[in-house]
């Protein structure tokens, strides 16, 4: 290892938002976290929602408004649009059934 290019690996104090603290090792002396194994719903078995900037309340308000509103009638499927007329250059041309029938027709009477 090259000397003096790596950060110092030291003991660090981790503090959770719930107040739990423990010691680990890190390059920083103090670490802070929002959720730990003592307060996370997966580990505690609690059924609670961790809210981030009011997202849950906004979702609940939207759900309540949608349940209060009567159901909208189903929209009728739109009628298929008529195909636009093709220009003369793109119209299908009558094709001969075989090479023999093409050679039998006189030139200029293909149509």
Q: Would the pTM count as exceeding 0.95?
A: no
Q: What is the rounded CA–CA span in Å between residue 103 and residue 100?
A: 5
pLDDT of residue 26: 95
pLDDT digits (tens, 9 = 90+) for 24-60: 999 999 999 988 888 887 777 776 666 667 788 888 8
Which among 28, 2, 57, 3 has a CA at the least distance from the CA of 14?
28
- Phi-psi domain of 90 (left: phi exceeds 0; alpha: psi -120 through 50; beta: other): alpha
Average pLDDT over residues 57-84: 77
Helix residue spans in 1-111 (DSSP H): 41-44, 55-68, 99-104
pLDDT digits (tens, 9 = 90+) for 84-108: 776 766 767 778 788 888 888 776 5
Cα dihedral across residues 56, 61, 67, 71: positive or negative: negative
The full set of domains in the chain, from first to last, is: 10-68 (4.10.80.400)
Q: What is the rounded CA–CA span in Å between residue 33 and residue 50?
A: 13
pLDDT of residue 14: 94
């Amino acid at each position: 290892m090259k000397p003096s290019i790596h950060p110092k690996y030291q003991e660090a104090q981790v503090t959770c938002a719930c107040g739990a603290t423990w010691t680990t090792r890190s390059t920083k002396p103090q670490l802070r976290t929002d959720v730990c194994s003592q307060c996370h719903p997966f580990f505690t078995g609690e059924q609670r929602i961790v809210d981030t900037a009011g997202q849950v309340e906004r979702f609940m308000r939207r759900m309540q408004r949608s349940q209060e509103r009567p159901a909208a009638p189903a929209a009728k499927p739109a009628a298929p649009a008529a195909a636009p007329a093709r220009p003369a250059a793109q119209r299908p041309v009558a094709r001969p059934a075989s090479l023999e029938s093409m050679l039998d027709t006189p030139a200029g009477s293909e149509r």
